[in-house]
């Protein structure tokens, strides 16, 4: 235990509480279906004007290869929560000096995302089959994420911003900074690119959703660094303990 069982229990309660609040508010603030579909249409038309509606072509290229689609589906279903949670657990136990900063970054990003979902509910591309989009999760994975049970926990009209991509950037950047092996650093540096491919191939996000998700991640990092870390630098700064210990050694090293 890096900081004892009490701190571990407190962190679990924080994560569970934040996730429950996020899920509840996200499910309530789902907006009208007609409004969300209209917003999705606006996104498609905007990308068409830019000549950048390439997602159906990307899907069409990979759809004939079943194992690739299965991989993309599994990554989509697990990346936002299973991988993110597993990464936070690893970070807590093995890179604890960075954990509080990353946790705060996640909390801020989820709050920002809820604002986006409430102000601009948007249907994902998988709901626009007339443009060539395919819902690979429903078609190939055996999981119906439009079922009544799923809709009771999630908002189906929460395409903007893509929190899959936001989480991927926060995890990827952190992993690239704190991992010690070159191959693990390379893997986490590539992780945001992989998840961008996943959300497009599965028909769950437009590329512009991913860009907005990255912006959410960057904003959350700035808030965590420039506001929260300044309030409690010994706890909430990135690698706070290491920095504090280094500062504590400086006078002794100067005397030596």
Mean pLDDT of 56-75: 95
Query: What does the pLDDT read at residue 183?
Result: 96
Least confident window among 93-97, 124-128, 153-157, 220-224: 153-157
As for how many domains the chain has, the answer is 1
pLDDT of 77-93, one tens digit each? 888 888 999 999 999 99
pLDDT of residue 88: 95
Is 242:97 a contact under the CB 8 Å cutoff?
A: yes
Q: Check whether 47 has a pLDDT greater than 90.
A: yes
Q: State the chain's mean pLDDT as an integer.
A: 86
- Domain that includes residue 26, residue range: 5-255
Residue 28: pLDDT over 90: no
């Amino acid at each position: 235990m890096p900081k004892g069982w009490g701190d571990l229990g407190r962190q679990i309660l924080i994560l569970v509480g934040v996730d429950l609040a996020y899920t509840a508010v996200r499910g309530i603030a789902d907006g009208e279906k007609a409004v969300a579909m209209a917003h999705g249409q606006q996104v498609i038309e905007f990308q068409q004007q830019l000549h950048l509606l390439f997602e159906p072509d990307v899907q069409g290229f990979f759809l004939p290869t079943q194992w690739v689609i299965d991989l993309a589906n599994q990554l989509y279903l697990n990346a936002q929560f299973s991988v993110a949670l597993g990464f936070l657990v690893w970070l807590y136990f093995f890179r604890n000096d960075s954990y509080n900063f990353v946790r705060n970054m996640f909390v801020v990003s989820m709050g920002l995302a809820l604002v986006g979902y409430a102000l601009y509910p948007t249907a994902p591309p998988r709901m626009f089959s007339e443009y060539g989009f395919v819902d690979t999760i429903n078609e190939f994975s055996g999981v119906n994420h439009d079922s009544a049970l799923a809709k009771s926990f999630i908002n189906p009209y929460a395409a903007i911003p893509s929190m899959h991509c936001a989480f991927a950037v926060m995890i990827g950047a952190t992993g690239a900074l704190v991992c010690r092996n070159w191959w693990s650093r390379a893997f986490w540096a590539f992780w945001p690119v992989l998840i961008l491919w996943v959300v497009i191939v599965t028909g769950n996000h437009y590329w512009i959703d991913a860009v907005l998700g990255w912006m959410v991640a960057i904003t959350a990092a700035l808030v965590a660094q420039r506001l929260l870390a300044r309030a409690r630098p010994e706890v909430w700064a990135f690698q706070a303990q290491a920095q504090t210990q280094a500062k504590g050694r400086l006078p002794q090293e100067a005397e030596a």
